[in-house]
């Protein structure tokens, strides 16, 4: 039986299913069928084949997964990669020290030899997308449980992935779409020799800091440059002095024309995840559990980190990336909570569900097929609420916050080997070597006194907030022994654990024993915590299966209810395209935001007393002289602009491309007034914030004097 190819896993669940041209994260193989005519009406001068082609060079060949959670693009025929400063922030931080503070001062390689190898960093190209729905769905049936469906789908997926990549050097990933009503396979090629080429100082790349994060108007130069290297035959290779710059299938020309309001724009990238199919009870769960937990926990930890970072340059550099990663979604939770309530998304979802229920009840067959869908979802959410909250608390307070626990957990493999009756000495030696190598990176960015404070605060928060039934066993023992004094426990933990410093761990690894490892207090805390987490996940998993079944049925019902509609799938970190126009917006009564900011706005925000609003001396000199080179228009230097393109996390670093296929901007953020966008798209409010390509070129050329990088790009006027 032929399956429908376009089904909605991520329907815009507001009051209507009518889609605007600027809404949707679209699958590239379906552009010709679904989108290209509308895109051309808006101004696109390209064909669908120009954007996505398997057999010929196309724009998709210039777009990469940067690292593990961002997008980047190739902007020269020598493998130069453009992405966001915040996407490369962890790499920039890892190369920084008090003596070479690239976070504060920036870095620009004058020659290829000066480009900095970045172990662990990769870029990944999409080779092709295949619809494998029939291969999988033909083996599934309605009588299967969700566990059975997942097992069968997983087995077939592994077979398909093997068939697609055998003997190629590629890897593949089959992913469910539309609630498991469709499956696509992505075939990828990954390159692992990626080197840092250039980054502006944080006063440019992170201008506005946490204060401006998620806000418009912005004046941020959020970009960084890297380069991909290959073996001499062009194949992926580990770092080597013999490697050469990548010769890409396609690279994006960079435009100095800029964009005018109303100009066509499209964004290609790897959006991480949206949940626009979310029902009212799920929205309620986010508002009452997920966001409040995150705000409370991360806020407390961030206060500790920031205090120590402000007191020491060494600690500031060590914790810069950790702090930034934490605050980003801490502020997101604050903003999304506010906007979900302000726009009354809960009621919008309720209205849609009422319409769906009326439609189901009009027909006996529909009642049999879809009548239980919403009930399954609501029961699963209600039954899982306490387990879900406890799991979140374990992850946020202990596993993500207490670094010593994370380090101790890395030694599980070694403990397992030492626990054998006759340990294999070679295996033990290998495990010791791996743990020692891991420790070097960990302790480089670790400050024990900071972590000791965090451990005390986080464990106390967990103990007081989570029902004792869901506590790791060791937590009750700690509370009893120390009479609720978690500061004293943390003090003893760091005094006695082999993981409290690199020197202590090195001493242990010189003569590792089972007894020493299994009695270590950090190891005991880690093992007890993970044991409880496993128990909670097992119970939660049963509710999740019920939730998945309800969602799949609801989606199928919505599809049947609206047979004439065209829908787009939820974001799942596979390549998507969104299209729209450069556009300002009206955030509230009597306020209208323009679509473009200039360097004048950056100067207006200068505040030498705030680390977030410092302007480098050289940039101020260029501004005072109005020395903008060829990058200004009518004497104005554009910095950021906004479009109504539909984006989310993972789109950071995505190119904003004009009607001719040229890069005009670099997406880096969404706006505060539409932070409900992952759950419900608001066309009048939702905006994509981008760095203007002209500002990027200006910083590279005039500020950094890295004209050699400009010369290798294809610049179009």
In percent, how much of the chain has pLDDT > 70?
97
> Are the beta carbons of 529 and 394 closer than 8 angstroms?
yes
Bridging pattern class, strands 254-255 and 116-117: unpaired
Burial profile 226-263: b = 16 or more Cβ within 10 angstroms, e = fewer: bbbbbeeeeebbeeeeebbbbebebbbbbbbebbeeeb
Decide: helix, strand or coil at residue 676. Answer: coil
* Residue 15 confidence (pLDDT): 36
CA atoms within 13 A on the CB side of 576: 28
Q: What is the pLDDT of residue 7?
A: 35
Q: Are 665 and 259 in contact (CB under 8 A)?
A: yes
Q: How high is the mean pLDDT of the chain?
A: 95
**pLDDT reported for residue 23:** 85
DSSP readout, 341-404? HHTTHHHHHHHHHHHHHHHHHT-HHHHHHHTTHHHHHHHHHHHHHHHHHHHHHIIIIIITT-HH
| Residues listed for the chain | 717
Measured in degrees and rounded to the nearest 5, phi and psi for residue 270 equal -125, 75
Per-residue pLDDT tens for 211-242?
A: 999 999 999 999 999 999 999 999 999 999 99
**Do 486 and 456 form a contact (C-beta atoms < 8 A)?**
yes
Residue 102: its H or E element: helix 102-105
DSSP run (H or E) holding 195: strand 193-199
Which is it for strands 663-670 and 688-692: parallel, antiparallel or unpaired? Answer: antiparallel
For residue 10, pLDDT over 70 is answered with no
Instruction: State residue 1's pLDDT score.
Output: 31
- The pLDDT confidence band at residue 566, using thresholds 50, 70 and 90, is confident
Q: Pick left, alpha or beta for residue 650 (phi over 0 → left; psi -120 to 50 → alpha; otherwise beta).
A: left
Q: What is the pLDDT of residues 428-459, one digit of tens each?
A: 999 999 999 999 999 999 999 999 999 999 99
Domains of the chain: 28-252 (no CATH), 280-548 (no CATH), 577-716 (2.40.10)
- C-alpha 271/C-alpha 649 separation (Å) is 6
3-state class (DSSP) for residue 442:
helix
Q: φ and ψ at 35, to 5 degrees?
A: -125, -30
* Cβ(357)–Cβ(561) below 8 Å: no
Q: How far apart are CA 385 and CA 3, in angstroms?
A: 35
471 as an active site residue: the answer is: no
Q: Residue 650 in contact with residue 271, Cβ under 8 Å?
A: yes
Alpha helices in 466-577 (DSSP H): 473-482, 486-496, 502-509, 514-518, 521-561
Q: DSSP of 252-269, one letter per residue?
A: --EESS---TT-EEEEEE
Who contacts 713 (Cβ-Cβ below 8 Å, separation ≥6)? 75, 76, 80, 253, 254
User: Across the strands, what pairs with 184?
Assistant: 131, 175
Q: How far apart are the first and last CA of the chain?
A: 52
> For the whole model, what pTM was predicted?
0.94
Is the pLDDT assigned to residue 507 strictly greater than 60?
Answer: yes
**DSSP line for 683-700:** TTT--EEEEEHHHHHHII
The predicted structure's pLDDT at residue 17? 37
Choose, from 61, 193, 222, 701, the residue flagged as catalytic. Answer: 222
Contact assessment for residue 349 and residue 280, using Cβ atoms and an 8 Å cutoff: yes
CA dist 192 and 212 (Å) reads 33
pLDDT of residue 352 exceeding 80: yes
Gap between the Cα atoms of 699 and 223, Å rounded: 10
459 within 8 A of 490, measured Cβ to Cβ: yes
Cα dist from 514 to 277, 338, 370, 423, 528, whole Å: 49, 51, 55, 11, 17
**Residue 257 near residue 272, CB atoms below 8 Å:** no
pLDDT digits (tens, 9 = 90+) for 244-293: 999 999 999 999 999 999 999 999 999 999 999 899 999 999 999 999 99
Q: Which of 228, 253, 224, 79 is nearest to 700 (CA)?
A: 224
Section 471-476 average pLDDT? 95
Q: How far apart are CA 649 and CA 651, in angstroms?
A: 5
Q: Measured between alpha carbons, how far is 260 from 267 in angstroms, rounded to an integer?
A: 16
Torsion of CA 199, 201, 206, 207, to 10 degrees: -140
Q: Per the structure block, which two tokens stand in for 285?
A: 């769960």
At residue 5, the pLDDT reads 33
Cβ-count burial of 686 within 10 angstroms (0-12 exposed, 13-18 middle, 19+ buried)?
buried
Cα 573 from Cα 309, distance rounded (Å): 33
Angle between helices 291-311 and 373-393 (to 10 degrees): 30
Is 14 within 8 Å of 352 (Cβ atoms)?
yes
- Contact assessment for residue 340 and residue 479, using Cβ atoms and an 8 Å cutoff: no
What average pLDDT score do residues 555-560 get?
88
Answer whether residue 582 shows pLDDT above 90.
yes
The partner residues of 715 in beta bridges, in order of sequence, read 254
Q: What is the mean pLDDT of residues 305-326?
A: 97
- The angle that helices 521-561 and 345-361 make with each other, rounded to 10 degrees, is 50
> Regarding beta strands 254-255 and 715-716, do their DSSP bridges make them parallel or antiparallel, or are they unpaired?
parallel
**556: pLDDT confidence band, cut at 50, 70 and 90?**
confident
* Rg of the chain (C-alpha set): 26
Q: Tell me: the pLDDT tens digits for 641-700?
A: 999 999 999 999 999 999 999 999 999 999 999 999 999 999 999 999 999 999 999 999
Residue 652 annotated in active site: yes
Where helices occur in 580-657 by DSSP H, the ranges are 599-604, 617-625
Q: Is 470 a catalytic residue?
A: no
Q: Per-residue pLDDT for 53 more than 50?
A: yes
Residue 513 CB-density burial (10 A; 0-12 exposed, 13-18 middle, 19+ buried): exposed
pLDDT at residue 185 greater than cutoff 90: yes
Q: 354 is written with which tokens?
A: 């009422």
> Which residues have a Cβ under 8 Å from the Cβ of 349 and sit 6 or more positions away?
13, 278, 279, 280, 283, 680
Average pLDDT of the segment spanning 470-487: 95
Closest-CA residue to 132 (of 178, 186, 168): 186
């Amino acid at each position: 039986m032929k399956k429908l190819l376009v089904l909605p896993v991520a329907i815009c669940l507001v009051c209507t299913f009518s889609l605007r041209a600027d809404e949707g994260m679209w699958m590239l193989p379906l552009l010709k069928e679904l989108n290209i005519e509308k895109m051309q009406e808006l101004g696109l001068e390209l064909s669908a084949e120009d954007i996505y082609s398997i057999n010929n060079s196309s724009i998709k060949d210039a777009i990469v997964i940067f690292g593990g959670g961002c997008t980047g693009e190739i902007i020269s025929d020598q493998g130069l990669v453009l992405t966001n400063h915040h996407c490369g922030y962890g790499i920039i931080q890892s190369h920084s020290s008090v003596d070479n503070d690239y976070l504060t001062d920036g870095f620009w390689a004058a020659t290829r030899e000066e480009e900095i190898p970045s172990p662990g960093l990769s870029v990944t190209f999409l080779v092709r997308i295949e619809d494998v729905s029939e291969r999988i769905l033909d083996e599934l049936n309605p009588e299967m449980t969700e566990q059975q469906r997942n097992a069968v789908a997983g087995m077939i997926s592994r077979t398909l992935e093997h068939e697609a990549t055998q003997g190629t050097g590629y890897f593949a990933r089959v992913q469910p779409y539309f609630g498991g009503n469709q499956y696509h396979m992505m075939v990828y090629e990954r390159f692992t020799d990626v080197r840092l080429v250039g980054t502006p100082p944080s006063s440019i790349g992170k201008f506005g800091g946490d204060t401006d994060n998620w806000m418009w108007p912005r004046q941020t130069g959020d970009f960084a440059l890297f380069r991909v290297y290959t073996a001499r035959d062009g194949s992926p290779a580990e770092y080597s002095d013999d490697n050469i710059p990548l010769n890409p299938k396609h690279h994006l020309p960079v435009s100095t024309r800029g964009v005018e309001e109303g100009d066509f724009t499209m964004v290609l990238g790897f959006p991480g995840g949206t949940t626009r199919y979310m029902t009212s009870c799920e929205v309620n769960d986010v508002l009452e559990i997920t966001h409040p937990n995150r705000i409370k926990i991360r806020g407390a930890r961030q206060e500790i980190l920031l205090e120590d970072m402000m007191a020491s340059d060494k600690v500031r550099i060590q914790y810069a990336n950790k702090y930034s990663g934490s605050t980003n979604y801490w502020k997101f939770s604050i903003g999304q909570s506010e906007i979900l309530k302000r726009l009354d998304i809960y009621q919008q979802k309720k209205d849609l569900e009422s319409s769906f229920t009326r439609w189901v009840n009009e027909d006996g067959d529909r009642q049999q097929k879809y009548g239980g869908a919403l009930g399954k979802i609501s029961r699963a959410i209600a039954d899982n609420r306490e387990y879900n909250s406890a799991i979140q608390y374990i992850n946020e307070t202990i596993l993500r916050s207490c670094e010593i626990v994370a380090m101790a957990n890395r030694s599980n493999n070694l403990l397992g080997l030492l626990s054998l009756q006759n340990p294999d000495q070679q295996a033990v030696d290998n495990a010791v070597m791996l743990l020692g190598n891991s420790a070097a990176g960990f302790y480089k960015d670790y400050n024990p006194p900071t972590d000791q404070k965090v451990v005390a605060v986080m464990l106390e928060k967990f103990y007081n907030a989570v029902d004792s039934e869901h506590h790791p066993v060791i937590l009750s023992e700690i509370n009893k022994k120390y009479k609720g004094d978690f500061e004293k426990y943390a003090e003893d933990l760091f005094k006695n654990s082999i993981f409290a410093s690199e020197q202590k761990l090195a001493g242990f690894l010189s003569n590792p024993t089972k007894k020493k490892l299994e009695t270590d207090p950090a190891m005991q805390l880690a093992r007890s915590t993970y044991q409880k987490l496993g128990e909670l996940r097992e119970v939660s998993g049963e509710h999740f299966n019920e939730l998945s079944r309800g969602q799949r049925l609801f989606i199928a019902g919505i599809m049947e209810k609206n047979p004439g509609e065209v829908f787009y799938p939820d974001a799942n970190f596979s390549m998507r395209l969104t299209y729209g126009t450069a556009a300002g917006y009206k955030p509230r009564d009597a306020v209208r935001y323009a679509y473009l900011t200039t360097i004048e706005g950056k100067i207006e925000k200068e505040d030498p007393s705030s680390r977030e609003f410092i302007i480098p001396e050289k940039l101020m000199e260029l501004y005072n002289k109005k020395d903008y080179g060829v990058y200004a228009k009518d004497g104005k230097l554009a910095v950021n602009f906004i479009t109504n393109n539909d984006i989310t996390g993972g789109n950071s670093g995505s190119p904003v491309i004009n009607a001719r296929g040229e890069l005009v901007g670099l997406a880096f953020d969404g706006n505060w007034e539409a932070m409900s966008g992952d759950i419900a798209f608001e066309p009048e409010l939702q905006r994509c914030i981008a760095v203007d390509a002209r500002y990027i070129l200006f910083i590279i050329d005039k500020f950094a004097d890295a004209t050699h990088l400009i010369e290798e790009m294809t610049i179009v006027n």
